[in-house]
Structure 1
Amino acid sequence: MEKPLVFQQDAATILFSVSIAVWVLFEFSMRIRQRSLLRGRAAHDPSAVVLAACLTASVVGAIQLGQHGPLLWPGGRVWPLVAGEVLIAAGIALRAWSISALGRFFQYRIEVQPEHYVVTGGPYRYVRHPSYTGVALVVIGIALAAGDVVSLAVALVLSTIGLAVRIRAEECQLTEALGAQYERFAAHRKRLVPGVW
């Protein structure tokens, strides 16, 4: 039985694995940076647990379905890999740009800092949560590169649930802490996709 390229051709497998490793290492390095800035302060954040679980399930599910799923994308095996790799790279780049634009306000946990203000530059000109848009692009890219139609459907559903829970929690806290300033910002921008949601 024919399988997606990432599970049948060495070069494609290496490219796919390296892309995922780059994403994981990027997130890991940001997490280490956060821990050093937090200086041991702990915080209970259920939305982070939901997001991590949904993203992990999205990626693992997409890879498993790609290896064993019977529903390959029409039009050949090359384009899903190429499109997926482009989305993974774009997602990592957008997430890095978003984190850079936030500067000291970037955190993995939801917490409004002293003298916090709404960042409106960089990718925040276009959407409220471009960092999460970046995460979504990476997950969609992984699922697409995995080569199975069902992989993408499962990854979309699971990652959307995780991101929706996280965004709701974050927006509640930002609205409560920053009030009208955040409401004005939110009124002119969609959450993840310009003009859509």
Structure 2
Amino acid sequence: MVTDVWYTVLIGLVALERLAELVVAKRNLAWSLARGGRETGFGHYPFMVVLHTGLLAGCLLEVWLADRPFTAALGWPMLALVVAAQALRWWCIRALGPRWNTRIVVVPGLPLVTGGPYRLVPHPNYVAVVVEGFALPLVHGAWLTAAMFTVVNAGLLTVRIRAENDALRSVHA
């Protein structure tokens, strides 16, 4: 079906965006480490990578194998949310500059970032992750992937946000 092809292209574009994030994160990790940055919370990182890779794979597999239909009344609003989540994510990356990372790395001596989306919400990047996690699968009716990712991601974010807050407190106490 034509919508299946376009959905596959969308997932491919999101995967390319993820690769771009990893390039930025690697560059920023080097910047942070050169300034005395310390990584914490690395125990959950491999699980996070698997979960986010699983989201993309689950989106495709559920649509292809379960023959999920594209329903315009759900698909178009969900696509708008996916685009909004990407915009929010890149706003976060821009606001944090070289301090943004997919890992938890804190450089001692640098003030907390309170501009951009961080003036509105403490962890705006995770808002983007949550929105994208349910919206991307629902663009093409992959409700099972949306539900599973949302539940598992809630547990992961509980661990991740706690680790990030602890790391920030350790250098801003």
1:65 paired with 2:91, answer no
* Distance in 2 of aligned mates of 1:112 and 1:139: 26
Q: After TM superposition, give the deviation of residue 168 of structure 1 in Å.
A: 1.4
TM-score by length of 1: 0.71
Residues 176-196 of structure 1: per-residue CA shift (max 9 Å, x gap): 3213xxxxxxxxxxxxxxxxx
1:177 paired with 2:171, answer yes
Tell me which amino acid in the other structure corresponds to 2:50. Answer: A
Q: After TM superposition, give the deviation of residue 97 of structure 1 in Å.
A: 0.7
Query: Of residues 58, 76, 83 in structure 1, which corresponds to 2:77?
Result: 83
Q: Identify the residue that residue 128 of structure 1 maps to in structure 2.
A: 122
TM-score by length of 2: 0.79
Which structure has the greater CA radius of gyration? Answer: 1
Confirm or deny: 8 A CA contact 2:81 2:135 kept in the other structure.
Answer: yes
Q: Identify the residue that residue 149 of structure 2 maps to in structure 1.
A: 155
| Cα-Cα RMSD | 2.8
> Aligned runs of 1:1-197 on 2, under 5 Å?
6-7=3-4, 10-14=5-9, 16-37=10-31, 38=33, 45-69=42-66, 77-179=71-173
Q: Percent sequence identity over matched residues? A: 27
Confirm or deny: 8 A CA contact 1:6 1:81 kept in the other structure.
Answer: no
Confirm or deny: 8 A CA contact 2:38 2:105 kept in the other structure.
Answer: no
- Where does the alignment leave 5 or more consecutive residues of structure 2 unmatched? none
* Distance in 1 of aligned mates of 2:116 and 2:76: 27
Q: After TM superposition, give the deviation of residue 53 of structure 1 in Å.
A: 2.2
Q: After TM superposition, give the deviation of residue 139 of structure 1 in Å.
A: 2.3
- Where does the alignment leave 5 or more consecutive residues of structure 1 unmatched? 180-197
Moved more, 79-88 or 94-103: 79-88
Tell me which amino acid in the other structure corresponds to 1:64. Answer: L
